[in-house]
Amino acid sequence: MRALLAFILLLGITAALTAAPNVVLIISDDQGYPDLGCIGSKPLVTPNLDRLASEGVRGTSFYVTWPACTPSRGSVLTGRYPQRNGLYDMVRNDMVNFGHHFSAEEYAVSPEMTLGLDVREVTLGDMLKKAGYATGCVGKWDMGQARRFLPLQRGFDFFYGHGNNGIDYYTHERYGVPSLFEGNARTEKDKGIYATDLFRREALRFVGQHAGRQPFFLYLAFNAPHSASTFGEGTVEGSKKKAEGVQAPEKYVSLYRGKVEDERLARYCGAVTCMDEAIGAVMQAVEKAGQKDNTLFLFMSDNGGSGNGGNAPLKGSKSTMWEGGLRVPFIACWPGKLPAGKVTDEFLTSLELVPTLLAATEAPAPEGVRLDGFNMLPVLRGEAPSSRQEMFWQRRGDKAARFQNWKWLSSVKGKGLYDLSKDLGEKHDLSKEKPEVARMMEEKFSRWRAEMDASEPRGPFRDY
């Protein structure tokens, strides 16, 4: 009798766990604001992302916290401004700009190996694992490669991917250094296989192990369609070698020849379509496991597009404070919990992801941690306007702020004040016509910066 009661109790616990929603958080790399087939401004083939958008909510005013990968991805997993979590610049070796291939000994003491997200930071993996989730990270980690920084030490049960911010898609090297990890160890066993295909394989492995058995959180972070971290043969411009560019299998590149302006852009588009197929395979696996209605899919790019043929109607691209560097595609799909086919222009950011996922999973927020976003589920459902009124960005000397529909920026690539409700392309500088608004925006930025400086210090860059 006692054994029977224990078995019934175990069944009840298992049922309660599997009733919790699964989460699949997908991030692409350098995919521009207009680069979805469903938008229609480019000849991109993305039927699976288009399906997610048609069955869910697509955001058109969704921002990241930094115009390039490392700090942006750090905010996704912590829910905190880069200036608060300490990862407010790239973890990158500058010598690669000059064609330098690293020896293993050089790389071992380089910034890419010795810097990372402060170990005191609590990640989304930590939060959901504590709530009973199986947690998996597949793809681009980009928050430190020393063992203490890798996913298995940051709340994830499973990791297959690369720890730095770029690799060659086939050799999996970072300028000469093998960079693919399986768990905590580097691996070369899959050398020669296209990276997106590997990330597809490992994502399916993780979903297959857990779907329907335990609630799972899959952080599927592609390196596509980022340029490869390798150099083309014999290509030198000035004192710098020319990067290879985006790599993609021929079957996908051939879809775009004659439809886009050059081979480079055809490879970019091919990489997007290959990634879309991988996403579709994960969607199908979730559906086959009977978990479609119990899974929240989220998709976004880590920053604006670079080398993608332009981010029109937005100005600028990756690495800039213009809208084209900061505003990215976003989709949320959760059948029965979010409306289907909805497009929202509400002001939202990647800082909202952690609070939203905590609300969706009913996981507790980490104690003593200041989160910089809010639960956006009511906004996505159309039940409430966004409470996001302002957002701030800083990349070294480049600064920007948005307050309501006003956008202010001061950077080496341009300065100005713009009314985004009338001028999404940031063409008409209103700083001379509206000096009082420009002053207000600059003052808001200064107050935000003071708040960041007063927060508990985090590494790896801050002096404390």
Helices and strands counted in the chain (H then E): 14, 20
Mean pLDDT of 199-227: 98
d(CA 351, CA 423): 25
Domain boundaries, the chain: 19-384
Q: What is the pLDDT of residues 79-95, one digit of tens each?
A: 999 999 999 999 999 88
CB atoms within 10 A of CB 65: 30
Q: What is the pLDDT of residues 5-45, one digit of tens each?
A: 444 444 444 444 448 999 999 999 999 999 999 999 999 99
Out of 132-146, 204-218, 222-236, pick the least confident: 222-236
Mean pLDDT of 304-309: 95
Q: Is the peptide bond before 366 cis (omega within 30 degrees of 0)?
A: no
Question: In one letter, which amino acid is 274?
Answer: C
Residue 429 has pLDDT above 60, yes or no: yes
Residue 100 has pLDDT above 50, yes or no: yes
| Alpha carbon separation from 282 to 208, 277, 384 (Å, rounded) | 10, 9, 31
Enumerate residues 6+ apart whose C-beta is below 8 A from 223: 29, 139, 140, 162, 166, 167, 169, 195, 196
Q: How many residues in the chain?
A: 464
**Any bridge partners for residue 24, and if so which?**
218, 297
Mean pLDDT of 327-351: 98
Out of 100-104, 212-216, 375-379, pick the least confident: 100-104
Residue 4 has pLDDT above 70, yes or no: no
CATH superfamily of 19-384: Alkaline Phosphatase, subunit A (3.40.720.10)
d(CA 197, CA 202): 9
CB atoms within 10 A of CB 271: 32
Q: How many CA atoms lie within 13 A of 127 on its CB side?
A: 26
Which one, of 448, 413, 410, lies nearest residue 431 by Cα? 410
